[in-house]
């Protein structure tokens, strides 16, 4: 993503959705013919909401996420992200969002401090501002003791916290998290969940989360959007979806998801329960 200065924080228009899409579409041209990965998604994400974006393998989650984060141009439809039109103001979108991809892009050979200050400089902070932002973020994300450590020497959970700190450098309003806890042990997953909740509570951030773990979606998200075959097939709170599709008041989100999509999410350890 190209660097852009942090946007002013006082231009929130209350009631304006954080994300709004109409007919968002992406077709890939392949030798075997066109692949309709996303086939017309109408989505609204409220300001300050934690949205869980779920679907089976190949449903179109990553393609949607890549379009909303400006990494992939849509082939149809429109979207507004953080008040900026995706088609006409992708730089404005990039300045207002943070994106934490599945495999973070940290350099294993440099220290956590260097990585964070380099990211600050990328976002055009002065050296002094970048150092100050590094210290603030490290304190907020529990990385202060690790600032001198090489990135290659971090545990999986520490690494994910660094990835998120880097996504927060320019103080975005919306954070996109792509499967943030894949591969983490249960304690590190629980830490990440706490962090996500804190970011919303303390910073009022909007969080767009994809995950294969239904327990994670159930515990964290205010609302779930389930996609399948490039379309939204269900949306609502976890409780509302369980009531509507799960078949009984005690239905699990797993039963509900299977009732909606006809299959599981593809998580390797299919939704091992985790204390919240």
Binding site for ligand ATP (CB under 6 A): 28, 30, 35, 37, 55, 57-63, 266
Looking at the DSSP bridge assignments, the partners of residue 208 are 51, 176
- Alpha carbon distance 127, 98 (integer Å): 21
CB of 183 to ligand ATP, least distance (A): 14
Pick between residue 70 and residue 134 the one whose CB is nearest to ligand ATP. Answer: 70
CB of 61 to ligand ATP, least distance (A): 4
Q: Exposed, middle or buried by CB within 10 Å (0-12, 13-18, 19+), for 209?
A: buried
CB of 28 to ligand ATP, least distance (A): 3
Kindly give, in sequence order, each residue whose CB lies less than 8 Å from that of residue 155, ignoring residues fewer than 6 positions away.
Answer: 188
- Give the ranges where the chain is alpha helix by DSSP (H): 61-68, 90-96, 112-122, 127-140, 156-167, 186-203, 214-220, 238-245, 253-261
CB of 35 to ligand ATP, least distance (A): 4
Pick between residue 119 and residue 265 the one whose CB is nearest to ligand ATP. Answer: 265
CB of 125 to ligand ATP, least distance (A): 33
Per the structure block, which two tokens stand in for 196? 């996500």
Cα–Cα distance list, 170 to 42, 174, 268 (Å) = 28, 11, 34
Per the structure block, which two tokens stand in for 195? 């962090």
Pick between residue 65 and residue 199 the one whose CB is nearest to ligand ATP. Answer: 65
Pick between residue 54 and residue 130 the one whose CB is nearest to ligand ATP. Answer: 54
Question: What order of strands is seen across the sheet that includes strand 33-45?
Answer: 33-45, 19-30, 76-81, 84-85
Pick between residue 62 and residue 134 the one whose CB is nearest to ligand ATP. Answer: 62
Pick between residue 146 and residue 226 the one whose CB is nearest to ligand ATP. Answer: 226
CB of 222 to ligand ATP, least distance (A): 21
Per the structure block, which two tokens stand in for 14? 């209350």
Pick between residue 29 and residue 202 the one whose CB is nearest to ligand ATP. Answer: 29
CB of 229 to ligand ATP, least distance (A): 9
| Phi-psi region at 109: left, alpha or beta (left = phi > 0; alpha = psi -120 to 50) | alpha
In degrees and rounded to multiples of 5, residue 210 shows phi and psi of: -105, 145
């Amino acid at each position: 993503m190209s660097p852009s200065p942090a946007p002013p924080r006082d231009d929130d228009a209350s009631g304006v959705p954080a994300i709004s899409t109409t007919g968002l579409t992406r077709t890939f041209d392949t030798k075997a013919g066109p692949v309709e990965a996303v086939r017309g998604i109408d989505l609204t994400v409220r300001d300050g909401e934690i949205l869980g974006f779920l679907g089976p393998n190949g449903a179109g989650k990553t393609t949607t996420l890549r379009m909303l984060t400006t990494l992939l141009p849509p082939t149809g439809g429109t979207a507004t992200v953080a008040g900026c039109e995706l088609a006409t103001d992708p730089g404005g979108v990039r300045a207002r969002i943070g994106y934490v991809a599945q495999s973070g892009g940290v350099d294993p050979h440099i220290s956590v401090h260097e990585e964070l200050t380099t990211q600050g400089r990328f976002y055009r902070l002065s050296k002094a501002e970048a150092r100050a932002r590094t210290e603030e973020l490290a304190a907020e994300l529990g990385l202060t003791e690790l600032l001198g450590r090489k990135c290659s020497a971090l545990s999986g959970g520490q690494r994910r916290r660094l990835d998120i700190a880097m996504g927060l450098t320019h103080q975005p309003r919306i954070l996109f998290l792509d499967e943030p806890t894949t591969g983490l042990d249960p304690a590190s997953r629980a830490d990440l969940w706490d962090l996500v909740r804190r970011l919303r509570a303390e910073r009022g951030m909007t969080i767009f989360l994809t995950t294969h773990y239904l327990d994670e979606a159930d515990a964290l998200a205010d609302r779930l959007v389930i996609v399948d075959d490039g379309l939204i097939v269900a949306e609502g709170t976890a409780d509302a979806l369980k009531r509507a599709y799960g078949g009984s008041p005690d239905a699990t989100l797993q039963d509900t998801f299977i009732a909606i999509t006809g299959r599981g999410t593809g998580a390797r350890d299919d939704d091992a329960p985790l204390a919240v």
